[in-house]
Structure 1
Amino acid sequence: MSLQDNIDSLVNMGFDASVARAALERANNNIEVAVNYIYADSSGELPSYSEQTESGALGPVQDGHSASTAIPIEDDIRDKIASYGYGAENQEIRLDSDESEHEALPKYDVYDDISRYIRAPEVPGVLLPVKIDLLEGYFAPLLMILSNIPAFRDTVLEHEFEDYGYSPYWWKKERCLSNPDVTMEVQRLVAFLSSDSKRAFASIRTLIDASAKLITDDYESISEFIQFIYSTIIELFGKLGWTSKERLMELFTSQFQFENDETQTHRIFPVESNYFYKDVYRIMHSLLWGKDLSRIAQHGFVRLSDVLTISFEGNGDTVPGGGFELTEEFYPQIYTSEYEKLVVDKFQRINELREEVSKINGQNMQLKAFKGKRVAALLESTLNHLSSLGEDGKIQSASKELEGIASHILDQKTLNTDKLTALNKERSQMDIYSIDYILGEHKPDLEPWILVGVILSERQFCYRTEKGWYTFVYELEEGKNFTVTESTFDTIRGQIRDYSADNFETGMVLLYVRKSLLTSSRPIINEKLKQFISTDNEKVTQDYEAFMSQQPNKKEDAYVLVDM
C-alpha cells in the first residue's frame, strides 16, 4: 500500500490525518507499528513526529540507546487493523537510535519451496495445520489417520457434489468455491490423501474456514474437540444418506451400560491424570470398574465402536512406574457381557487365593504361639522338665504324647509351607491386567483392535499405514516446515514411554481400529473428485517442472526424509 492509502485507512479508523502521516513516516509505512506509536504518545498532547524530541525519536534514552519496547495494541484496534488486511503477515521491525532499520532474516516457508511440491514415492501426503497451539490443529492429524481406514475413507468419498471448483492455490489458502461446504472440504482433503495425488502437502485452512460457523463452543480439552469433530462428521454426512450415517455411527459410537441399566454413548474416552497407569488395560479397568475393581462386571459395553479413541488429558502430570507401555493390539471385548465372565472368574480365583493364604497364615500363627507364648519353646521346655523327673511310666507316656504333638505341629507347618509355595506360584502367574492370562485359549478366536495413530500434539503425531509407521513433525513457530520419518512400532513405543514418564505436558490421543476394517482396497472416489485431483496433478507438475528447468544442478529425486 502507498503512504496515502495507509493514511486514508487510519483516518477511516478515526485518527487525525496529520498524526497518521507523521506516525506512518516514522514507522516506514507499517500501519500496525504506526498505531503503536500513536497510542504510546496518546497520554498527553500528540507531538509532531516529523521533528526529534529531546529524548530521541523513540522515546526516553536508556543506557545510551532509545527505548524500542513494543506497546501492545488493544484487541479491538488490532481487529480493526486486521479488517483492513494489515498485520497478519507483517513482522515487527525493531529500531534503535544508531540504525534506521534491521532487515529480518527470511524464514523458511515450505509453501514457497517448489522443490517440495511433488510427493516423494512411498511417502504419505501431508495436511498442515494453520496455527500453533489451537485445538483446530488436531483436524490435520486426525483426518490423516482416519483417511487410512477404508470404511471411513470410502464413506466420505462416495457422495458426489455437482461442482468442486478449483483454485491453483487451494492447497495453500484459496477457496475453490465462494461458499464452500464443510462436507465438500472434508472430501477434498480425504481425496488428496487417499488418491493418486502428486502433491506432497496441503493446508487445512479451507476446512477450518468452512467449519468456523460450526465451532460455536469454547472447547477446553482435546477430548471435547475430537468429540465435536466425530459428532459433526456423523451429522453432516448423515444428511447425505441414512447408510452413511449408520456406517459412521458404527465407526465412532460405543454404547455403555451401567448397573442401573442406564445406557450412555461414548465417542472418546478421556483419561484424567489420576487414572494415568502404565498400560491401556489398567486404565480401562479403572475407568469402567473402579480403581479397586469393586464394580467389576457391573458396568460394561453394550456395543463397541469400530474406532476406539482414548485421550490422555495432559497437564504436566506424568505416568508413574516408568511411563506408558504402548500396545499394538487391544481386546476391548473383555468389557462386554459376553466375555467379562472370563475376567470375573480370574478375579474370583485371585480372591480365593487371597483367602486361602490368609487362612494358612492364621493356622501358622496358632501353631507358633498360644496366649502370647511360643508353642515350640513351651513344648521343648516341658519335655526337658519331664525327662529330668525320671522313668516313671506316666511321665514317659506324657512325654511321648507331647513329642507326638510337637511332631504333628512340625508336619503341619511343613504342609502349610508347601501349600503357601503352591498358592504363591499360582498367584504370581495370575495378572488380571494381562490379556493373555484373561483370554487364555479364547484369544485366537477374538478379533483385536489395532493401534493406527498416536497424536502427541497438533504438531507431532504418528500413524500406521500398510507399509509401516510414519512420524510427522510440524514447525510453525520459526517459519513453516514439516518432516516425515519412517519409523517402527518398537521405536515409537520407546519414545512414548520416555515422553510419558518425563514430560507429558500435552498428553496424547490413541486411536484403535477393528482389525477387519484395515483391509487393502483401492479408494472409491467419485468422478468429479477424480477430475479435481487430475487438474491439480497437472498444475503441480507444471510448477515443479518449470522450477526444475531453472535448476540444472538439482536432481528431481532430491526430496529426502529428515529424521526427527
Structure 2
Amino acid sequence: MGFGRDQAIDALKICDNDVSKAIEYIFNGFVEEPKPRDTETSSFQDSGFQSQFSQTFEPANTTHLENVRQQQESGTIDSEPQYKSNAQFGPATRDDYESGQWGIVPYQSAGSEYSVTAFEPTLAVRKFDSPPLLIPSSEMLYIAPLITILHSIPLARKMLLTELQIEDYGFDPNWWKDTPIDMTDKFDNPAKATHSQERLIAETQRLIAFLDGGSKRAMASIYNLANEAPLLESVDALRGMSSVDSPPGRFIEDIMLYWGADHEFAKVFSMGAEGRSFVNLIADVTVDFEKSLYDVIDELVWPPNTSGDTYLEYVGEIIHITLKRDDGNSGAGIIVPTDFYPGRYLKENVGYVKELSRRKADTVQQLATLNSQKFRLSTTMGKDTSKLLQITHEYLQEANEGSSGDESKQSLEDGNDDSMNDDTSNSVDGSMTQALLEVTKARENFEARKAGIMDEINKLNRQMEIENSLFKGPHTSEFSEIFNVAEPPQLTPYRLSGAIISPNEYCFRSVGDSFDEDLIELDGESNEPVSSWWRVAPNAANEFVASKVSEVEVLDRIKEGSREFSWQEVILVYSTDKALKEDPTALNAKLQKFINSDKKVLIRQVQQQDEQQHQQRQSQPPQGERELEETLVEQDSDLKLDPQVLEPKIAREMDVDQGQTVEILSGVEPEDVTENTEEAKTLL
C-alpha cells in the first residue's frame, strides 16, 4: 500500500485514532492538529521551523566558483565566499519595527516547528540503547546536527569543552524545553551573561555535556543557544538573514575567534593556503553520479586551463566540506568515499599529482588516437569490415568447395571430355583458390591488428585506473614503478564521521566504536557486523527519532539527499584516526554539577509520574503498568534508588520479569536542586 505498519501507527497516534484523518495524514502529509493535552509540558509552543523550509531553497550563486578560480594562480583559496541569501519575502515576524529597519525576513508561521514537548516526563527518559538527541531549531539551522556530530568525535568534543572562565553554568528545570537560564552572576562581567561569545561557548558546552547522556534525558532543544548567542554574522546566517555562505562553518569560526588563531582549537578544525586559514571547504557540484568527491575538489583546487600549482599548506584533524548542487535538487549527487585523503592537496604532493595529471592527459590522447584507428580499421565505406571479410570468406570457401564437383558431374552427363574445357575449369579453380587464400590472410591480419589495438587500449585504461587511484587511498607497489621512488609519501586517511543531509536529517557515527579490525561486534541474529551509524530524522508523528543504519545506507542518503528540501547542500565531516581515538575528556566539576541537577529533576519527574499513575490505577482497572515498569527497569542502575538516601514519603514495589524486584520512589519533597549539590552528589 506504500506505507509501513510503524507509519500507520504513528499517523493514528497523531489523529487520536481517527482512521479517516490518519489516511489523510499519510497521503497528504497534513491534517488538523489535535488539541494539546493539559499537562505540564503542553504549554511549550515552538514556531518557525517546518513552514520556513516548506519554501523552496534558492540556488547558490555560482559566482563563488569563478572567484575561487581567479585565485588559483596565487595559490590562495578564499574562505569567505558570498552566496545569495536564503531569506525570502514574507509576512512580518514582529509586531513593531524600528524606523529604517524593514527588510527581508525569513518566513515562518506559528506552531510549525518540531517540538519536544509532545513527550511525557516518563517518555523523556532515554532508552539505554539510544543516543540523546538535540532537536533542530529554525533559529540556528544545522547547529543541532553539527554539535551532535562534533560530539561524536572525541577530539572535537575535547576542544569544545576547553575550560571557560565561568563561575557556574546555571540551571533551570525546564532548560531542555524553552526556559532561558539566567547567567547574570555567572561571569566576571555581567555584560557577558547574554549575547556574548562567552555565552555562546557556555551554551555549546552545556549541550556537549548533555549529549554525554549522563542525565538520562532523551532529548533537549537548543533554545538557550539560539536565543542567547551573540550577534555574530554566523548567527544571522543560521537564521537565513545574511548572505554569508555555510553558516555551520562560520559558527565554528566564531568559536575559534574566541580562543584565538594560535590555540589548539583552530589547528584542529582549520585548513590553510598561502598563509590564510579556513574551516569550511565549499564546492559547487555539477551532478554526475559517476563523479567522486575527489573530482569535485580537483576542479575547485585545480580548474582547467590553470597552472595546477595551487595547494593546501596544512589540514587539521577534522575537516568540514559543503557540497552545493547546481540543479535545484537535494543530495550530493556524486560518489562520497568513506575514507578521504586530503593529503592529495598538500604542497609536498602537488608535484606528484601534477605529474599524474600530465600523464592522464597523455593517456587520454593516446586512447583517442587508438580509438580512431580502431574505428577506421573496423569500417569500410560505412560497413563493418569484420562482417564484410567474414561474408566474403564464407562465399569463396563455399564456391571453391562446390565448383569442382559440379563441373565433373555436368561433363559426365553431356559425354563431353574436351581438353579445352579442362583447361578452362582448372584456371577458374585456381583463381577461386587464390582469392580464398588472400581473403583468409586479410582476415587474419585484420583480426590481429584489431586485437593489438584493443590490447593497447585495455593496457592504457588499466594504467589510467591505477594512476587515478593514487593519492586517493593507501599507495600500492605501482607508485614506486611510476615515480621511481623507494618510499612513497605517507597519506593520512580521514574517516567520514557525520553528514548533515537537511536541517532535520543527519547521520553520525556513535561514540566509542572500536577501530580495531580484529575486534568486530557481530549481530546475534544475522552474524553481520553491527553498524555504528545513527540516522536522526522526524517520523510520521513529527517526533525526532534515532535509528541504526548501515554505512551503505548513509552513503546512499548523502548521494540522494532529502525528499523534503530542494536546493539543499550536503555537509560532510571527516576526521582522522587520531581525532577518533583521542582519550575521553572528563567533564569539569561545573558541567558535572549541571548534569547532576538535570538528572535529579528527571528522576523527580519520573517519580511524580509514577505516583500519579499509581493513584489512577487505584480507582481504575490496571492499564499499561507493565509498559511503565519495563521502561523504568531498562534505565541506568542509578534510577534504582535507595529509599534510605532520599527518605521518600512513598516507596512501593513492582513485580518485573523473572521475579526481580525494583524499588521505584515517588513523592520526593520539591526543592531547589541547584542549592543541594551535596545531596545531588550522594544521589547521583
TM-score (norm 1): 0.64
Alpha-carbon spacing, 1:530–1:358, altered in 2? closer, same or farther (3 Å): closer
Give matches, 1:14-53, under 5 Å.
none
Q: What is the CA deviation profile of residues 422-465 of structure 1, one whole-angstrom value per residue up to 9, with x for unaligned ones?
A: 32112322236545877541799532101111111221111112
What residue number does 1:497 align with?
559
What residue number does 1:350 align with?
360
Q: What is the CA deviation profile of residues 165-193 of structure 1, one whole-angstrom value per residue up to 9, with x for unaligned ones?
A: 22111212321424352221111111111
Q: Does 2:608 align with 1:546?
A: yes
Would the aligned equivalents of 1:275 and 1:287 in 2 still touch at CA under 8 Å?
no
Q: Secondary structure at the match of 1:522?
A: coil
What residue number does 2:535 align with?
471
Would the aligned equivalents of 1:350 and 1:427 in 2 still touch at CA under 8 Å?
no
What residue number does 2:280 align with?
268
Would the aligned equivalents of 2:134 and 2:222 in 1 still touch at CA under 8 Å?
yes
Give matches, 1:347-496, under 5 Å.
347-357=357-367, 416-429=449-462, 430-431=464-465, 433-434=468-469, 440-441=475-476, 445-465=490-510, 466-467=512-513, 468-474=532-538, 481-496=543-558
Distance 2:472 2:256 in 1: 37
Which residue identity lines up with residue 450 of structure 1 in the other structure?
Answer: R
What residue number does 2:248 align with?
226
- Residue segments in structure 2 that go unaligned for 5+ positions in a row: 1-89, 99-107, 185-192, 380-387, 389-437, 480-487, 514-531, 615-624, 633-684
User: What is the percent sequence identity of the aligned residues?
Assistant: 21
Which residue identity lines up with residue 327 of structure 1 in the other structure?
Answer: P
Q: Does 2:341 align with 1:308?
A: no
What residue number does 2:203 align with?
185
Distance 1:440 1:501 in 2: 38
Distance 1:438 1:415 in 2: 38
Distance 1:73 1:299 in 2: 46
What residue number does 1:280 align with?
293
- Residue segments in structure 1 that go unaligned for 5+ positions in a row: 1-71, 81-87, 93-106, 258-262, 370-376, 378-404, 560-564
Instruction: Quote how far apart the aligned CAs of 1:159 are.
Output: 0.8
Distance 1:77 1:363 in 2: 75
Would the aligned equivalents of 1:175 and 1:206 in 2 still touch at CA under 8 Å?
yes
Distance 2:170 2:564 in 1: 48
What residue number does 2:579 align with?
517
Would the aligned equivalents of 2:246 and 2:322 in 1 still touch at CA under 8 Å?
no
Would the aligned equivalents of 1:309 and 1:512 in 2 still touch at CA under 8 Å?
yes
Q: What is the CA deviation profile of residues 226-259 of structure 1, one whole-angstrom value per residue up to 9, with x for unaligned ones?
A: 2320111101234xxx8xx5222112211135xx
Equivalent of 1:164, from 166, 169, 177? Answer: 169
Q: What is the CA deviation profile of residues 107-163 of structure 1, one whole-angstrom value per residue up to 9, with x for unaligned ones?
A: 9853652122212113222111233xx5x1211111111112222212222415222
What residue number does 2:263 align with?
246
Q: Does 2:120 align with 1:113?
A: yes
Distance 2:503 2:320 in 1: 16
Which residue identity lines up with residue 500 of structure 2 in the other structure?
Answer: I
Distance 2:115 2:284 in 1: 38
Which residue identity lines up with residue 196 of structure 1 in the other structure?
Answer: G
Would the aligned equivalents of 2:317 and 2:576 in 1 still touch at CA under 8 Å?
yes
Instruction: Quote how far apart the aligned CAs of 1:522 are.
Output: 2.5
Would the aligned equivalents of 2:501 and 2:558 in 1 still touch at CA under 8 Å?
no
Q: What is the CA deviation profile of residues 522-560 of structure 1, one whole-angstrom value per residue up to 9, with x for unaligned ones?
A: 22321111111112111111112221333351324449x
Q: Does 2:338 align with 1:328?
A: yes
Distance 1:276 1:496 in 2: 14
What residue number does 1:98 align with?
none
Alpha-carbon spacing, 1:368–1:310, altered in 2? closer, same or farther (3 Å): closer
Distance 1:139 1:362 in 2: 54
Cα RMSD of the aligned pairs, angstroms, is: 4.5
Would the aligned equivalents of 2:498 and 2:509 in 1 still touch at CA under 8 Å?
yes
Alpha-carbon spacing, 1:473–1:330, altered in 2? closer, same or farther (3 Å): same
Distance 1:177 1:207 in 2: 13
Q: Secondary structure at the match of 2:496?
A: strand
Q: Secondary structure at the match of 1:512?
A: strand
What residue number does 2:145 align with?
141
